[in-house]
Amino acid sequence: MESGSTDGHAIVYPQVSCLPPELMCIIFHFLAESHATDALRSCALVSKGFLQPIRKQLFYSITLRLALHPRPILIDDVVRRIRGLTDLFRREPLVASYVKRFSLLDSYPVYESQWITQQRGLPPLLDALTSLTFCEFGSAVGFLDWQLFPPALRLSLMRVFQGRQLRTLKLRNVGCVPAFVLVATSVKAMDLNNVTVPPDQQQLVLPPVAGDMAFRQLAVLNAPPQGPEVALLGKDPYHASKLPPPLRRRV
């Protein structure tokens, strides 16, 4: 029990919880896995001691994606969330370190995804995400062109791709990407969907294969090349890279 006093009268407050912190974290994790976001937010208001453990659950994964069903999520909604997250992470950098998974994918059934590259708040948001283990970026139905990305966006994406903690990288329909962007990475699984490299950089795409190499899986799914771009690693990427063929998944 906690006690205090007001105008000479003792006030006794009930103890928030007698459970050990480890058990409380398990409970918060269960609520997060059950998508009980409202319940988690309510718990965060109960005690300051609950705030940071709950924030770790709430901000573990961030997905920015357009949708029509079950609840419409439009471009303006995504833009507002980008701004809100950027402001929050600027005020409280510790919260940004809780984000481990980040996905920005245009899944709207319109073949024009360049709105993603026009968001000035996106580079500052990406720069704040320094603890990612999973990153997905691109468009599910439309097409982006890496060469047309603003320099600030390209630089911020490169920093994310080269993050020391990043283990899984998925790129979809982002056009022709310089090889050095894909080489300088510590990921163990890379999934490239309609991603190409300049013809003169094909041999630079994968790091040298070594016995203790951290790179474990490469999945490439490319449409027939058009123009100056060529399919990443040619016709037989697994033979060229000496990696065992992973299960190729259409996503």
Place of tokens 């709207």: 108
CATH number for region 59-241: 3.80.10
The distance from CA 185 to its chain's CA centroid, rounded to whole angstroms, is: 15
Torsion angles phi and psi, residue 124, rounded to 5:
-60, -35
DSSP one-letter string for 110-151: SS--GGGGG-TTHHHHHHH--S-SEEEEEESSS---GGGS-H
**Contact present, 165 and 132 (Cβ < 8 Å):** yes
Please report, to the nearest 10 degrees, the dihedral formed by the alpha carbons of residues 105, 106, 112, 115 taken in order: -80
**Does the model's pTM come out above 0.75?**
no
The distance from CA 187 to its chain's CA centroid, rounded to whole angstroms, is: 13
**91-100, 173-182, 189-198, 201-210: the lowest-pLDDT one:** 201-210
Work out the pLDDT band at 248, boundaries 50, 70, 90.
Answer: very low
**Contact present, 20 and 5 (Cβ < 8 Å):** no
Domain chopping of the chain, boundaries: 1-58, 59-241
Work out the pLDDT band at 232, boundaries 50, 70, 90.
Answer: very low
Percent of the chain with pLDDT over 90: 27
